[in-house]
Structure 1
Amino acid sequence: MKKTLRKLLLGLCVLTTTASYAQKPSKKDYLVTIKTDYGTMRLVLFDQTPQHKANFVKLAREKFYDGLLFHRIIEDFMIQGGDPNSRNAQPGAMLGGGDVGYKIPAEFHPALFHRKGALAAARDNNPEKASSGCQFYLVDGRPLTGADLTRQLARATRKPTEAQQQVYQNLGGSPHLDGAYTVFGQVIDGLEVIDKIAAQPKDPRDRPEKDITMQVSVEQVRKKKITKKYNYAFL
């Protein structure tokens, strides 16, 4: 009996230590780099969306995104990529239907919103609003007037906070998407690259006339270094 009790106590001690270790904040985080012919973007991924974060890191480490296209661009709205069918796609081919065979459950968080430079997951019209396992978009957007904001909020699933509305008016974004698509990262350097890509000539299906390929990599960097270099405050 005493031996069994000692084992139970030891197990409880190990579990408690492991849980405490898992909750200990890391001094490092992932810095994502997306290289294109129009410039380079640096991004961070949010801890509040752990499944999306882990999946994106996995795919980037596997070089899944290298050579894929930004296949859909809409100026002042977003640029979309990550369709595996876009690799070596023929000119004029319809893109956007490719996937990796699984979806990721929606991870909505009130602090994460569709400000300019937001990284969000594309999806189909599934009722659970689960995300594509690979396709994503980067929000372009322009500063919204009061009237613009009112119109978009009328279509929104979730109303942004007053502080978020100020960001939409000063920086830009797409508030009507909040609560409908999972935001899981943010561009912290190279916002102008989104503008350049979004402004390129395109066909009636919003595919750029000239292919825009991407190279995506991730590395672990000390948070203090990211904050200092890119003036980014972690949530």
Structure 2
Amino acid sequence: MKKVFYCLLLIAGIVVSNSSFAQKKPTNYYVKLSTDSGSCTIRLYNETPLHRDNFIKLTEKHFYDSLLFHRVIKDFMIQGGDPDSKNAPAGKMLGNGDAGYTVAAEFNDSLFHKKGVLAAARDNNPAKASSGCQFYIVQGKKYTEADLDRIEQTRLQGKKIPLSQREVYKTIGGTPFLDRNYTVYGEVVEGIELVDKIAATKTDGNDRPIQDMRMKVELLSKKETRKLEKKLKKEKEKKK
């Protein structure tokens, strides 16, 4: 009888253990952003949990589905997430719609405005709190040492750009003058070509694309996340 009881306890333990494993949260979260022009995959940073969780919440509610990239500036960024853009007539100026709340700024010196990062838009407020829903993805451009020196003295008020980040801004590009002013909370890990494609589209006087650029955002499943990370790891190893 004791052996039977012990076996039952062992089986129960295994069930609980497997259940806990199944419910374990993934280390990283990824979203797939799709448009008629293609798609890209974005990793959300764990270093910015407020923005990460907010973006996941809105994604799971399908908040972003059918919204537009309503502000596009070549060599700068592509911006979307305005709920007013969903049924906006052609030519209407957009950018004032919001979710009704803000997200506290989460600045991190290791997270900077290199090409492909996801960052939060915001209005001009002292706390630099982010919009609850509007975001942008950086295209940017490449900078010289002299350019970066000038940005440090003017736009960054004397704050130094780390050498490692300088190298990225010189070789990959970005928008260094936005650092420490807007929260960066993710980056494109696949499909950066989509950002370039959208950034090259024709726009009107308000920087809105002439042809509507609608989006759909989906959270990758655990299975999709494992498959993606395995692929990214292989690609990284090949570059070594």
State the TM-score, normalized to the length of structure 2: 0.82
What is the distance in 2 between the residues matched to 1:121 and 1:202? Answer: 22
Q: Does residue 221 of the first structure (1) align with residue 226 of the second (2)? A: no
Conservation of the 8 A alpha-carbon contact between 1:29 and 1:221: no
Q: Which has the larger radius of gyration?
A: 2
The alignment's C-alpha RMSD in Å is: 1.9
Q: Does residue 62 of the first structure (1) align with residue 64 of the second (2)? A: no
Which residue of structure 2 lines up, in the alignment, with residue 16 of structure 1? none
Which residue of structure 2 lines up, in the alignment, with residue 200 of structure 1? 201
The answer for unaligned runs of 5 or more in structure 2 is: 1-23
Which residue of structure 2 lines up, in the alignment, with residue 81 of structure 1? 80
What is the distance in 2 between the residues matched to 1:77 and 1:161? Answer: 21
What is the distance in 1 between the residues matched to 2:163 and 2:45? Answer: 21
Whichever residue aligns with residue 163 of structure 2, its letter is: E
Q: How big is each residue's C-alpha offset from its partner over 1:38-63, in whole Å with a ceiling of 9 and x where there is no partner?
A: 21110101111100000000000100
Conservation of the 8 A alpha-carbon contact between 1:28 and 1:221: no
State the TM-score, normalized to the length of structure 1: 0.84
Instruction: Give the match's secondary structure for 1:181.
Output: coil
Which residue of structure 2 lines up, in the alignment, with residue 17 of structure 1? none
What is the distance in 2 between the residues matched to 1:150 and 1:77? Answer: 19
What is the distance in 1 between the residues matched to 2:37 and 2:65? Answer: 15
What is the distance in 2 between the residues matched to 1:224 and 1:110? Answer: 28
What is the distance in 2 between the residues matched to 1:151 and 1:75? Answer: 21
Whichever residue aligns with residue 201 of structure 1, its letter is: K
The answer for unaligned runs of 5 or more in structure 1 is: 1-24
Which residue of structure 2 lines up, in the alignment, with residue 230 of structure 1? 232
Q: Does residue 97 of the first structure (1) align with residue 96 of the second (2)? A: yes
Which residue of structure 2 lines up, in the alignment, with residue 155 of structure 1? 155
Conservation of the 8 A alpha-carbon contact between 2:28 and 2:46: no
Q: Does residue 184 of the first structure (1) align with residue 185 of the second (2)? A: yes
Which residue of structure 2 lines up, in the alignment, with residue 53 of structure 1? 52
Instruction: Give the match's secondary structure for 2:222.
Output: strand
What is the distance in 1 between the residues matched to 2:149 and 2:201? Answer: 29
Q: How big is the shift at 1:85?
A: 0.2
What is the distance in 1 between the residues matched to 2:95 and 2:55? Answer: 18
What is the distance in 2 between the residues matched to 1:197 and 1:40? Answer: 11
Conservation of the 8 A alpha-carbon contact between 1:114 and 1:178: yes
For these two proteins, the number of residue pairs brought into alignment is 210
What is the distance in 1 between the residues matched to 2:75 and 2:231? Answer: 27
**More displaced 10-residue stretch of structure 1: 204-213 or 155-164:** 155-164
Whichever residue aligns with residue 155 of structure 2, its letter is: R
Conservation of the 8 A alpha-carbon contact between 1:28 and 1:220: no
